Structure 1
């Protein structure tokens, strides 16, 4: 029996992201050829991840259906065919296809928005965000608080690696949604709509309203700030020490790349400068919520990772502390809102085409 909840969720998710995608694509500052090339790259990456996850999932499925003692197991081909027929009967593969499409559409539009549209806004909010940091950390800048607490080259390397490993759960989390069973309809739909709200609500609308560069770029775009200049000097000193060990501070490379790409004519993968609010922190909170709904211990691990991401965002100078705190609060609100969406879309449709009230 076809599960129309999945089709409705996919339709509304596609409409929301397509509107955002088309609006960004149609902006006169966004180069169309570069935009299409970026979309092609993200689409290829999304379906490559889907394929890899599918192979992994089928391997587990075949293992569960392996021959047992004294029992005859179905052939691997029959297991795969049965799985495919069930997906077709239940939702016409909608549940599997729309998460990677969502990923490619959102990231392409967000990258273009951040690099070409958001770049027209002056960084007018760094001043009060820096002051808020000093209030939160008892009169000193956030980066100083954390460096005094556990600052060392080893800590910098660990935090740097952890912070930039964020891309893995950011992409894998969406792909996992494609393979969760129909019993996980609510958590899947809630996660995917929250994902949309974070990229568009936090990364685009809020970023446009509160444009800021962040501590690492304060001296480049806002004004002279001795403390943040000292922060960058400390990170460079750690980088020099780590280079002798065959490692480096990846954050410094990425910061240099963002500065170099700011005036580029085309679109650069991952380009654009924006601190407030933090999509990085918002999505790490979303990972934790989604993981907890699937497995409690996995959820605890991802909560710890979300805290590490927040600390790392301040420690490395990417964000002010308030960027992550506001993002976390709004992501929790988005999760609640997405849950209401999921429930509404799950209601049966009346003969008059309206969703029935529960």
Structure 2
């Protein structure tokens, strides 16, 4: 079988991503070794299971919808033809390494995030409270949102939307990895930005700017500034389930138990919820202007929701967006620089002999 030079070239173009991911995992391994923390590889298996579940949950209905539109005589033959086509093989081979990165990076990040108290102390919360008040005319931002959002039903909706963010972790990467609608440049930029955001924004910056956020400020630091907000969330949860409340309780319990598994760890600045939304906005607008606008709105909603649900200060989201924009430009520069390096796998130019006219 002749080599598919398009696939080989695409894999060559992904090398900066592989190099950064390897370097990041080596740093993680060094930190685990240095601090005597055992990384549970069962977290990777758990994360893979979550990806599989979301793939079935979302991919199944999409497949049925496409079958209903195509109305083929043989659905099995129709599916086989598309899965075994040369284009499908190309997108599968090109997307698998990026998919594997996502399976590994989230558990690794969770472990490093839970280790922040080993690296430093949480000393920035009072500073971020002061920054918020400086930006919002002396008020804590949640108080300004309360007249609009401070109703149990509204809070429940905001909390549910906030948890929809998980789709960006498990459905979004599948789309950017395997969808033919995403060109190779945007694909590479997205996944390099994805890896760098977890490691640099969610890891390095979160350690440098170590803070716990409003909901954990009192139980962990003795700062009672947000007691009225947490009392409101608890009271609202007694009227109607507020999804964030039990999750926040779980995070606090896991913190005291020194849990290092998937989804563990407490950190406020920067907000990875907002940073990942910003990455999707920056990448999606290159795929479709309408999709880009949708993700911009979603980013703003998540930012507001992070403040209303007491996870974050307003400045957490602001810094996250700014950091992600800078990182996006860095990623673009890295991809451009790599693409200037001649590929050793370039498809040979076909030459034909011509006979001059007599």
TM-score, normalized by length of structure 1? 0.84
Within the candidate set 11, 31, 40, 2:45 is matched to 40
**Offset of residue 339 of structure 1:** 2.2
Q: Distance in 1 between matches of 2:128 and 2:192?
A: 29
For the 8 Å contact 1:17–1:105, the answer to whether it is kept is no
Once the two structures are superposed, what CA deviation does each residue of 1:19-56 show, in whole Å capped at 9, x if it has no partner? 32343244134643x52111111123334545666656
1:123 aligns to what? 122
2:267 counterpart SS class:
coil
- Cα distance change on mapping 1:237 and 1:83 into 2, 3 Å: closer
Once the two structures are superposed, what CA deviation does each residue of 1:47-68 show, in whole Å capped at 9, x if it has no partner? 454566665666576667656x
- Cα distance change on mapping 1:217 and 1:53 into 2, 3 Å: closer
**Offset of residue 338 of structure 1:** 1.9
Within the candidate set 4, 15, 21, 1:11 is matched to 15
1:254 counterpart SS class:
helix
Are 1:279 and 2:272 matched, yes or no? yes
For the 8 Å contact 1:46–1:101, the answer to whether it is kept is no
Stretch of structure 1 that moved more, 182-191 or 81-90 = 81-90
Are 1:269 and 2:272 matched, yes or no? no
Unaligned runs of 5+ in 1: 68-72, 243-247, 354-358
2:5 aligns to what? 2
2:204 aligns to what? 205
For the 8 Å contact 1:53–1:176, the answer to whether it is kept is no
1:124 counterpart SS class:
coil
- Cα distance change on mapping 1:142 and 1:86 into 2, 3 Å: same
- Cα distance change on mapping 1:183 and 1:23 into 2, 3 Å: closer
- Cα distance change on mapping 1:337 and 1:160 into 2, 3 Å: same
1:18 counterpart SS class:
helix
1:245 aligns to what? none
1:232 aligns to what? 230
Q: Distance in 1 between matches of 2:59 and 2:151?
A: 41
**Offset of residue 160 of structure 1:** 0.7
**Offset of residue 284 of structure 1:** 1.2
Within the candidate set 281, 297, 300, 1:304 is matched to 297
2:146 aligns to what? 147
2:97 counterpart SS class:
helix
**Offset of residue 149 of structure 1:** 3.7
For the 8 Å contact 2:119–2:207, the answer to whether it is kept is no
Q: Distance in 1 between matches of 2:300 and 2:182?
A: 30
2:355 aligns to what? none
2:352 aligns to what? none
Are 1:257 and 2:260 matched, yes or no? no
1:221 aligns to what? 220
1:262 counterpart SS class:
helix
Q: Distance in 1 between matches of 2:189 and 2:343?
A: 23
1:95 aligns to what? 94
Q: Distance in 2 between matches of 1:347 and 1:19?
A: 22
Unaligned runs of 5+ in 2: 347-358
Stretch of structure 1 that moved more, 114-123 or 207-216 = 114-123
For the 8 Å contact 1:262–1:271, the answer to whether it is kept is yes
**Offset of residue 331 of structure 1:** 0.9
Q: Distance in 1 between matches of 2:47 and 2:259?
A: 16
